[in-house]
Amino acid sequence: MYTAGFWLMCLSSLLFFMSFNMLLPELPDYLTRLGGGEYKGYIIALFTLTAGLSRPFSGKLADTVGRIPVMVFGSLVCFICGFFYPFTVTVVGFLGLRLLHGFSTGFKPTGTAAYIADIVPLARRGEAMGLLGVAGSLGMAAGPMAGSWLATHFSLNVMFYCSSGLALLSLIVQGTMTETLAPAQRQRFSWKLLRIESWAEVFEPRVLIPAAATLLFLFPFGAIFTVVPDQSRVLGLTGESKGLFYICYTGASLVVRLLAGRSSDRYGRVPVLLASSGIIISSLLVLAFAQSAVGFLAGAVLFGLGTGLNSPTIYAWTVDLSHPDRRGRAVSTMYMALEAGIGIGALISGWIFSNEPAHLPFVHLASAASVLCGLVFLLAMRHRTPAPLEG
């Protein structure tokens, strides 16, 4: 399993996730300075909108043109957008760039998940997705911390250019990798491949149950990452401390992925998802009632533990149920649900919060309700899921 291609993919993912997560702690204040403070919910929502809309195309292209071209396109978008942020001086321009930036995560993770599924056997997919998640989580942890440090000690423009540079490094790594899509399946790119002729090219029916659970479980991501910068400031975490939530969250996620990476391979996907959803609900209750930075960061640790179990298990379950020749579409179906959950969470949390700190508990309680619905849904549907497929 641990081939050079696997480790190169992990490195590419680390650089990619660090690139766009570097911006997260600073973008709300940046938008406020542009005069768009009331549009904070759109920072995440617009990003996830285009990511979700592009999934049917990235999934189809991953199954026809190849895994690596899809990843390259996603990283290229990240590189270009990072370079152009310093030139956005209006709210409309900024939001338009966020819309474009979303194509990066609409393509890169789809190609990545399909690539990993090609080279990892069924019995070790949970472990592999966990290790890949460790790389992504390292990027998610280091990115916000580095972004806040660069913005504090240099400038926002330096932060934007460094974000662009990391995406370029991810591109370079991808250039050293070998395509895994079978030659018999590969086609030359043509605009006809972007034509979606039926719903079968958009959704993979075998993975609709994991996708629906993903939507409900990912609602808190959009909500939390919309309000965390403001909640951090309310609790006294400013300047370089702005990134502490992300560090605690990602550190806990890393630990659980390393120590429990094979848990879903041993105990089953659904049991691990049920346990992780309980941990996530607990974390959201802690965040809702946190009155100090210590309580807030404790909630971040719990959230990291829950999502560190949840995310790789969802990915592995999706791949388990997919046909090898429709793997890209299966992954894109799951990611469309993921983006929908994050986007809806961001929009609803922005509406609930409305720049009123007193509303923060209601944001987290709404997120907990969504995860609880996901838990109940899994209990109801656990015996109606198709059997896993080898290959």
Residue 201 predicted with pLDDT over 70 = no
Q: How confident is the model at residue 374 (pLDDT cuts 50, 70, 90)?
A: very high
- At 129 the pLDDT is 74
Distance separating alpha carbons of residues 156 and 150, to the nearest angstrom: 7
Residue 233 predicted with pLDDT over 60 = yes
Structural domains of the chain sorted by starting position, each given as residue range(s) with its CATH number in brackets:
4-184+199-381 (1.20.1250.20)
Distance separating alpha carbons of residues 238 and 26, to the nearest angstrom: 11
- At 200 the pLDDT is 65
Residue 391 predicted with pLDDT over 60 = no
The one-letter amino acid at 47:
F
Q: How confident is the model at residue 27 (pLDDT cuts 50, 70, 90)?
A: confident
Count of alpha carbons within 13 angstroms of residue 315, beta-carbon side? 27
Q: How confident is the model at residue 95 (pLDDT cuts 50, 70, 90)?
A: very high
Residue with tokens 């996620």: 253
- At 134 the pLDDT is 80
Distance separating alpha carbons of residues 269 and 120, to the nearest angstrom: 17
**Residue 264 Cα distances to 67, 83, 139, 275, 383, angstroms:** 26, 40, 24, 11, 17
Closest CA to 78 of 144, 15, 36, 8: 15
Q: By the 8 A CB rule, do 311 and 341 touch? A: no
Distance separating alpha carbons of residues 217 and 334, to the nearest angstrom: 12
What pLDDT, in 10s, does the model give residues 107-135?
A: 998 888 888 878 877 677 677 777 887 88
- At 36 the pLDDT is 82
Distance separating alpha carbons of residues 175 and 152, to the nearest angstrom: 34
pLDDT top residue among 176 and 387: 176
- At 389 the pLDDT is 61
**Residue 200 Cα distances to 59, 205, 352, 388, angstroms:** 12, 8, 36, 20
Q: Count Cβ atoms below 10 Å from residue 388 Cβ, excluding itself.
A: 15
How much is the mean pLDDT over the chain? 86
Residue 199 predicted with pLDDT over 70 = no
Q: What is the 3-state secondary structure (H, E, C) of the chain?
A: CCCHHHHHHHHHHHHHHHHHHCCCCCHHHHHHHCCCHHHCHHHHHHHHHHHHHHHHHHHHHHHHCCHHHHHHHHHHHHHHHHHHHHHCCCHHHHHHHHHHHHHHHHHHHHHHHHHHHHHCCHHHHHHHHHHHHHHHHHHHHHHHHHHHHHHHHCCHHHHHHHHHHHHHHHHHHHCCCCCCCCHHHCCCCCHHHHCCCCHHHCCCHHHHHHHHHHHHHHHHHHHHHHHHHHHHHHCCCCHHHHHHHHHHHHHHHHHHHHHCCCHHHHHCHHHHHHHHHHHHHHHHHHHHCCCCHHHHHHHHHHHHHHHHHHHHHHHHHHHHCCCHHHHHHHHHHHHHHHHHHHHHHHHHHHHHHCCCHHHHHHHHHHHHHHHHHHHHHHHHHCCCCCCCCCC
Residue 36 phi, psi (nearest 5): -120, 35
Residue 202 predicted with pLDDT over 80 = no
- At 13 the pLDDT is 93
Q: How confident is the model at residue 81 (pLDDT cuts 50, 70, 90)?
A: very high
What pLDDT, in 10s, does the model give residues 259-293?
A: 766 787 788 888 999 999 999 999 999 999 999 99
- At 70 the pLDDT is 94
Q: What's this model's pTM, rounded to 2 decimal places?
A: 0.74
Report, as an integer, the average pLDDT of 167-177.
93
What pLDDT, in 10s, does the model give residues 48-67?
A: 888 888 888 888 898 888 99
Which pair of structure tokens corresponds to residue 37? 């403070």
Q: How confident is the model at residue 163 (pLDDT cuts 50, 70, 90)?
A: very high
Which pair of structure tokens corresponds to residue 21? 């997560």
What pLDDT, in 10s, does the model give residues 330-344?
A: 888 888 888 889 888
Distance separating alpha carbons of residues 181 and 196, to the nearest angstrom: 21
